[in-house]
Amino acid sequence: MAYFGTLYFFTGKMGAGKSTISKKIARDKNAIILSEDEILEQFYPNQIKTFDDYLTYSNLIKPFIKSHVQNLLRVNTNVVMDFPGNTQKQRKWLSNIASEINVSHKLIYLNVSDETCLQRLKQRNIENPERANFDTLETFNYVSQYFEKPNEFERLNIVEITQ
Protein backbone atom coordinates (compact mmCIF):
# COMPACT_ATOMS: atom_id res chain seq x y z
CA MET A 1 0.00 0.00 0.00
CA ALA A 2 1.37 3.41 -0.98
CA TYR A 3 1.45 6.29 1.47
CA PHE A 4 1.72 9.90 0.44
CA GLY A 5 2.54 13.13 2.19
CA THR A 6 0.21 16.07 2.71
CA LEU A 7 0.75 19.49 1.16
CA TYR A 8 0.22 22.52 3.42
CA PHE A 9 -0.01 26.03 1.97
CA PHE A 10 -1.18 29.43 3.15
CA THR A 11 -3.24 32.48 2.47
CA GLY A 12 -3.22 35.77 4.36
CA LYS A 13 -2.13 39.33 3.82
CA MET A 14 1.45 40.55 4.21
CA GLY A 15 2.33 40.39 7.89
CA ALA A 16 -0.43 37.90 8.74
CA GLY A 17 2.13 35.41 10.03
CA LYS A 18 2.34 32.93 7.16
CA SER A 19 6.07 32.30 7.58
CA THR A 20 5.80 32.00 11.35
CA ILE A 21 2.89 29.54 11.18
CA SER A 22 4.54 27.59 8.36
CA LYS A 23 7.55 26.89 10.57
CA LYS A 24 5.30 25.70 13.40
CA ILE A 25 3.31 23.41 11.12
CA ALA A 26 6.52 22.01 9.61
CA ARG A 27 7.72 21.10 13.12
CA ASP A 28 4.35 19.69 14.18
CA LYS A 29 3.87 17.60 11.03
CA ASN A 30 7.50 16.54 10.64
CA ALA A 31 7.47 18.22 7.24
CA ILE A 32 9.92 19.76 4.84
CA ILE A 33 9.39 23.49 4.53
CA LEU A 34 10.00 25.38 1.31
CA SER A 35 10.08 29.17 1.59
CA GLU A 36 9.62 31.12 -1.61
CA ASP A 37 11.46 34.11 -0.11
CA GLU A 38 14.48 31.95 0.76
CA ILE A 39 14.51 30.15 -2.60
CA LEU A 40 14.29 33.42 -4.53
CA GLU A 41 17.09 34.94 -2.46
CA GLN A 42 19.31 31.89 -3.14
CA PHE A 43 18.64 31.79 -6.88
CA TYR A 44 18.41 35.54 -7.51
CA PRO A 45 20.35 37.34 -4.75
CA ASN A 46 19.76 41.09 -4.58
CA GLN A 47 17.79 41.05 -7.84
CA ILE A 48 14.28 41.52 -6.44
CA LYS A 49 13.77 45.22 -5.89
CA THR A 50 10.15 45.69 -6.98
CA PHE A 51 6.92 43.75 -6.92
CA ASP A 52 7.24 43.22 -10.68
CA ASP A 53 10.71 41.71 -10.12
CA TYR A 54 9.17 39.37 -7.58
CA LEU A 55 6.48 38.25 -10.03
CA THR A 56 9.04 37.62 -12.77
CA TYR A 57 11.40 35.53 -10.66
CA SER A 58 8.60 33.74 -8.83
CA ASN A 59 7.23 32.48 -12.13
CA LEU A 60 10.68 31.26 -13.19
CA ILE A 61 11.01 28.86 -10.26
CA LYS A 62 7.48 27.43 -10.36
CA PRO A 63 8.07 24.50 -12.78
CA PHE A 64 11.02 23.24 -10.73
CA ILE A 65 9.19 23.73 -7.41
CA LYS A 66 6.09 21.90 -8.63
CA SER A 67 8.08 18.86 -9.78
CA HIS A 68 10.21 18.81 -6.65
CA VAL A 69 7.23 19.04 -4.28
CA GLN A 70 5.34 16.32 -6.13
CA ASN A 71 8.35 14.02 -5.85
CA LEU A 72 8.54 14.66 -2.10
CA LEU A 73 4.82 14.03 -1.62
CA ARG A 74 5.05 10.76 -3.56
CA VAL A 75 7.57 9.38 -1.05
CA ASN A 76 5.34 10.05 1.97
CA THR A 77 6.93 13.37 2.89
CA ASN A 78 4.75 16.16 4.25
CA VAL A 79 5.54 19.47 2.57
CA VAL A 80 4.86 22.96 3.89
CA MET A 81 4.99 25.60 1.18
CA ASP A 82 5.62 29.09 2.51
CA PHE A 83 4.44 30.55 -0.79
CA PRO A 84 1.62 33.07 -1.13
CA GLY A 85 -1.79 31.67 -1.93
CA ASN A 86 -3.46 35.05 -1.82
CA THR A 87 -5.42 34.90 -5.06
CA GLN A 88 -7.57 32.16 -6.52
CA LYS A 89 -4.99 31.73 -9.29
CA GLN A 90 -2.15 31.23 -6.80
CA ARG A 91 -4.22 28.80 -4.74
CA LYS A 92 -5.16 26.87 -7.88
CA TRP A 93 -1.47 26.45 -8.75
CA LEU A 94 -0.69 25.27 -5.21
CA SER A 95 -3.66 22.91 -4.93
CA ASN A 96 -2.94 21.43 -8.37
CA ILE A 97 0.46 20.32 -7.11
CA ALA A 98 -1.42 17.95 -4.80
CA SER A 99 -4.46 17.11 -6.91
CA GLU A 100 -2.43 16.15 -9.99
CA ILE A 101 -0.90 13.28 -8.03
CA ASN A 102 -3.98 12.61 -5.90
CA VAL A 103 -2.58 13.59 -2.50
CA SER A 104 -4.24 15.59 0.26
CA HIS A 105 -3.71 19.26 0.98
CA LYS A 106 -4.62 21.82 3.61
CA LEU A 107 -4.93 25.55 2.99
CA ILE A 108 -4.21 27.50 6.17
CA TYR A 109 -6.12 30.80 6.01
CA LEU A 110 -4.71 33.41 8.39
CA ASN A 111 -7.59 35.82 8.90
CA VAL A 112 -5.79 38.76 10.53
CA SER A 113 -6.76 42.45 10.69
CA ASP A 114 -4.90 45.01 8.59
CA GLU A 115 -3.81 46.79 11.77
CA THR A 116 -2.18 43.64 13.15
CA CYS A 117 -0.49 42.93 9.80
CA LEU A 118 0.95 46.46 9.67
CA GLN A 119 2.23 46.22 13.27
CA ARG A 120 3.94 42.94 12.40
CA LEU A 121 5.50 44.45 9.27
CA LYS A 122 6.99 47.26 11.37
CA GLN A 123 8.44 44.70 13.78
CA ARG A 124 9.74 42.58 10.89
CA ASN A 125 11.54 45.61 9.45
CA ILE A 126 13.23 46.21 12.80
CA GLU A 127 14.33 42.56 13.00
CA ASN A 128 15.21 42.30 9.28
CA PRO A 129 16.26 45.75 8.03
CA GLU A 130 17.12 44.31 4.61
CA ARG A 131 13.37 43.88 4.02
CA ALA A 132 12.52 47.50 4.82
CA ASN A 133 12.51 48.56 1.16
CA PHE A 134 9.92 45.93 0.27
CA ASP A 135 7.82 45.57 3.43
CA THR A 136 6.30 49.04 3.31
CA LEU A 137 2.82 50.46 3.80
CA GLU A 138 2.72 51.19 0.07
CA THR A 139 3.57 47.59 -0.83
CA PHE A 140 1.07 46.29 1.74
CA ASN A 141 -1.71 48.43 0.24
CA TYR A 142 -0.73 47.51 -3.32
CA VAL A 143 -0.60 43.77 -2.66
CA SER A 144 -3.69 43.78 -0.42
CA GLN A 145 -5.88 45.10 -3.22
CA TYR A 146 -5.40 41.74 -4.97
CA PHE A 147 -6.03 39.58 -1.91
CA GLU A 148 -8.99 37.23 -2.36
CA LYS A 149 -10.44 35.41 0.62
CA PRO A 150 -10.74 31.69 -0.02
CA ASN A 151 -14.24 30.40 -0.61
CA GLU A 152 -16.06 27.07 -0.78
CA PHE A 153 -16.26 27.20 -4.59
CA GLU A 154 -12.50 26.63 -4.77
CA ARG A 155 -12.99 23.15 -3.26
CA LEU A 156 -10.06 23.49 -0.88
CA ASN A 157 -9.53 21.91 2.53
CA ILE A 158 -9.44 25.18 4.48
CA VAL A 159 -8.30 25.60 8.07
CA GLU A 160 -9.03 29.17 9.21
CA ILE A 161 -6.97 30.77 11.96
CA THR A 162 -8.31 34.08 13.25
CA GLN A 163 -5.99 36.31 15.26
As a whole-number percent, the residues of the chain with pLDDT over 70 amount to 98
- How far apart are alpha carbons 93 and 66 in whole angstroms? 9
Task: Indicate if the pLDDT at residue 131 is higher than 90.
Answer: no
Task: Give residue-wise pLDDT tens across range 83-106.
Answer: 999 999 999 999 999 999 999 999
Q: What is the pLDDT of residue 49?
A: 84
Task: Give residue-wise pLDDT tens across range 45-86.
Answer: 989 888 899 999 999 999 999 999 999 999 999 999 999 999
For residue 3, what pLDDT band results from cuts at 50, 70 and 90? confident
Handedness of CA 113, 116, 119, 123 (dihedral sign): negative
Task: Indicate if the pLDDT at residue 2 is higher than 80.
Answer: no
Spans of all domains in the chain: 7-162
Q: What is the pLDDT of residue 1?
A: 55
- How far apart are alpha carbons 82 and 19 in whole angstroms? 6
Q: What 3-state DSSP class applies to 132?
A: coil
Tell me the β-bridge partners of 161.
110
Handedness of CA 143, 18, 155, 102 (dihedral sign): positive
Q: What 3-state DSSP class applies to 48?
A: coil
- Residues 18, 19, 21, CA angle at the centre, nearest 5°? 65
Single-letter amino acid, residue 77:
T
For the domain covering 7-162, report its CATH number: 3.40.50.300
- How far apart are alpha carbons 53 and 37 in whole angstroms? 13
